[in-house]
Structure 1
Amino acid sequence: MEGRADLGGGHCQRRAHRGDRRRVHRLVQRPRTRRGRPDQRDAPDQGRPRGRRLLRPGHRPEDAGDRPRGTSGPAGQHVRTYLARAGGIVYAASADGEVHALEAASGKARWSAEIAGSVGFRPLAAGGAVYLGSRDGTTYALNAASGTRLWRFRTEGERAGYRWGAAVASGLLYTTGVDGTLHALDAATGTVRRSFRTGAPIETGPVAAGAFVYVGSSNGDVQAFPA
């Protein structure tokens, strides 16, 4: 059986073998006109309350006091922001290296910091630290309360499509290297405790569960290493 989900369109389709009459399952029934086409006047996002903007590209929260305000970035520029949450704080990191800590309830800025690399992945907040990965394979650790940089760890090599990932378990930060190596770092100092070669670029993970850490490689393998 073969499946395909398209949540962006508001429905889910399932291709089935012959004889199975249930060929299409809809999670959200779209409004229909008399001709059977979607009615754009009743689009799902119409009439819904809009979120309050807390942060704008290229703007540091302290420039406008407690609540981040400011002007947007250059016209036509697409700035992606990556988010993580721990407790009542939301951590926002952008491709220009800016990192902000905001109170989740009010949007009030706790601190702002900047790293040398271009953030291209979702941060990880755990154990009083915020971990970030840059596109060049460098891992940064910031103090979650103040934004002060604790340490950084850079892996060697270059690879298009590199994907940074991290997981914390038993005082160790497991992170992916550009060359496909899984590194176990001391979460407090960034010191390398041990490293594992996977034999292929890591595409997903790491995921820490129980006594093992799991990663998925570009060759389709899922590998487990002792935590």
Structure 2
Amino acid sequence: MTFPVTAESPTSLLGIPLIAADEPIIRSGRTGKIERNAALTLLRRTKQGVAECYVLEMLEKSRNGIEIHTGQGFNVGKPCYGYIAEKIKHPVPAKRAQGKHKTKLTPDPIRWRTVPQIFDLRLKDVLSYRAIAGYLNQDLETWPPPQPVDPERAVGRWTPGAVREILVNPKYTGFMVWNRRATKDKRHPGKNNPKDQWVISGVPTHPARVNVAPSAPRRNSWQDA
């Protein structure tokens, strides 16, 4: 068991020793206080380095796995507007035996035609996000609004932000995309990552709703619509 140096230093300044479960307690014969030992300190730092290496290795393997997952066209999280999740048997036999599955994007029969309408209003009619939302809100039965994961957050109509979210989402080109937003930034959760950090499948993996040049989407890159 090891402790990060960031947790160890403040306790030391307060005179509180931090001892791992597998470390012996050595007390001063003169004062009876717990003393630091050079050999044990070296051993602790070695263990801390090994532990950090394991953490980085797990993060690297996890990211590599998600990149492969994305390249194969599997979706992460809630499907974007206009799509629903199609369950696919898990490719790993052990996980498949546990009943686990992956999902790909397939057209939502109710909301499928709304997406190209939004792109037409933006690109052909050059309407603002607010104007597009106003147009769609005139007939919510034909153009049903998005449904958030939390039903209590549903506003029951189109908003400029909801329109923008569709227009800037590259998944509508048929390519699977991951890492568009930061998920571990505590100060700015959900902020947009630079486009060179995106992971994009090399080929289309699901039905597209907008047309793009074949050379436009590339791995870790994206051209603005």
TM range (shorter): under 0.3
- Which protein, 1 or 2, shows the higher relative CO under an 8 Å CA cutoff with sep ≥ 6? 2
Which structure has the larger Rg? 2
Q: Which has the higher strand share?
A: 1
